[in-house]
Chains A and B, each alone.
Chain A
Amino acid sequence: MADAITVTKVFDLKGLACPMPVVKVSKGIKEVQVGEVIEAHTTDPGALTDFPAWANTSGNKIVKTDQDGDVIKFYIERVV
């Protein structure tokens, strides 16, 4: 499944203070075209709830969530 995702841009949001992860992701998503996917790396537990809630609000789609040790990787598709 992971192979099927083509990531256009990667954002390193590790260690950022609230609410920067969401701010950066919502800005970052505008840097790619609709249908493209960005990858966001975060270490904050809040992001695990913030990102899905943000996706619901903004209308974008989290296609996959990966855990890599301490780092959580979100794959987000720009829908709107």
Chain B
Amino acid sequence: MDEKTRDDLLQLFRSKFNRAMRFYLESCTRCGTCTDACHVYASTGQTKYIAAYRHELIRRLYKRYFKARGHLWPSLGEARELTDATIEELYEAAYSCTGCRRCMVYCPFGIDTQMLMSIAKLLLIGKGAEPEILTLLADTSIEKGKSMELFKEGFLTGIKRLEAEVVKQWQTEAGEAAIPVDVEGADLLYVALAGAHSIIPAAAVFNAAGEKWTLSFFEAVNFGAFVGDPSKTKLILDRIVNEAKRLKVKEVCVCECGTAYRVMKYLSGSQPFKVTSITEAHARYLKEGRIRLDKTKFPGPITYHDPCQIARNAGVIDEARYIIGHLTDDFREMTTDARYNWCCGGGGGLVALGDETLDFRMKSSRVKVDQVKATGATILSTACENCHTQLSNLNDHYKMEVDVQFLSSMVARALVPA
């Protein structure tokens, strides 16, 4: 690696500094309490997957380039030069970490491994060594935001075809406007994913609850966050923020996508609208008696996988239980404490990388499979696209013989006609 590249990368490193990051870089005592926290370590037993080991890679660079000791006595803290070999190690650490933050629950200081890994991810981008598909997906999202007018028509055509399906399945009275788009003054802007499964059931529930809603032109998922590029994350987010402001909605409701929800909730800043997840919206409709569910629709025990970015990292926990309480009398918890739920093993962009990461995802998530099996449930529900894909993959690979379901789809299917 030449001098110039290294300087540029160190500049990127420096750009990630803030108070919390400095705390995390200064304080790890390598006490080893976090060893059992990572699902990858728990499933594979390889030291390089222990949280402290992952972030010590970052800390070694920090000691070398940002502390005097790195010059005076580098071997004291095993300070490390930034080289091509280091970059490879960073890739291994960052793209085997799903950013679930389970280790943060174990650490006596609460060191945030995901945040430290974001330094690794940014260095990888600077070196052009990140998974290019994630950058491509992020760029595609940004392009859609820039040239919305160009793509609007195609989008509306697609929506029209979905509307027919909503009407067919739920005999909704909303008629032609079963999926309203671009409605100024609506109460709620629903940000979905590109797939029909993310739009049709949601539409049915919104209509049944009599919500004044409108569908966003944009997909919720933020690939900028997956690849760890702060400026792209912001651009992708801003498309939705601007749309919400233009339509003057009071609430932005994010579909079942963990990253999208956490980014929207915590990075959109102070806005005239509130941010909710679709799980929160559904729980609210139930509480207010705006929708009713049929408990006989899903016989058999149901368990629920808390998506890390929605539960542990954004606090939507009780709402899901409240909904499931209306779907079954036989709910099986995976853990007694939601903070300790195992990650599905698909976060941090791993699922988006598709077949490339499939083998690793299966090997690294054995503990999740054991957790699901122990519940004895036949239906495995969750509220995140990433988790759903990963859990379905696990279901096939480990022959768990459960039915992996989106919670929102279950709500839609169990709707009792008014």
Contacts and interface: CB of A to CB of B under 8 A. Distances in A.
Partners in one complex: yes
Interface of A: 16-24, 26-27, 43-50, 52-54, 56-58, 65, 70, 72
Contacts of A70: 161
Contacts, number: 94
Nearest to B217: A49
Given A22-B137, A54-B136, 5 more contacts: A17-B388, A19-B194, A21-B194, A45-B157, A49-B194
Main secondary structure of the interface of A (DSSP, over half): helix
B300 interface: no
A7 to B, nearest CB: 21
Contacts of A16: 195
Interface of B: 133, 136-137, 139-144, 147, 150-151, 154-155, 157-159, 161-162, 193-199, 217, 219, 221, 223, 352-354, 385, 388-389
10 contacts: A18-B195, A19-B194, A19-B223, A23-B133, A44-B196, A45-B161, A45-B199, A49-B144, A49-B194, A57-B140
Contacts of B217: 49
Contacts of A50: 140, 144, 194, 219
A26 B136 contact: yes
B133 A46 contact: no
A47 B140 CA distance: 11
A52 B149 CA distance: 12
A45 B155 contact: yes
A45 to B, nearest CB: 3
Nearest to A58: B136
Contacts of B219: 18, 46, 50
Contacts of B385: 17-18
Q: Which 10 A-B pairs have the closest CB atoms?
A: A46-B194, A45-B158, A48-B154, A49-B151, A53-B144, A57-B139, A53-B143, A18-B193, A18-B194, A48-B158
Contacts of B136: 22, 26, 54, 57-58
Contacts of B193: 17-18, 46
Nearest to B160: A45
Nearest to A46: B194
Nearest to B151: A49
Nearest to B152: A49
Contact of A44 (B139, B151, B195, B354): B195
Contacts of B142: 57
Given A45-B155, A48-B158, A52-B151, A19 B137 contact: yes
Q: Which of B140, B144, B161, B353 gathers the greatest number of chain A CB atoms within 10 Å?
A: B140
A22 to B, nearest CB: 6
A2 to B, nearest CB: 19
A23 to B, nearest CB: 5
A53 B157 contact: no
Nearest to B198: A18
Nearest to B352: A19
Nearest to B388: A17
Contact of B133 (A26, A47, A48): A26
Q: Which of B158, B161, B195 gathers the greatest number of chain A CB atoms within 10 Å?
A: B195
Contacts of A18: 193-195, 198, 219, 221, 385
B158 A46 contact: yes
Contacts of A65: 154
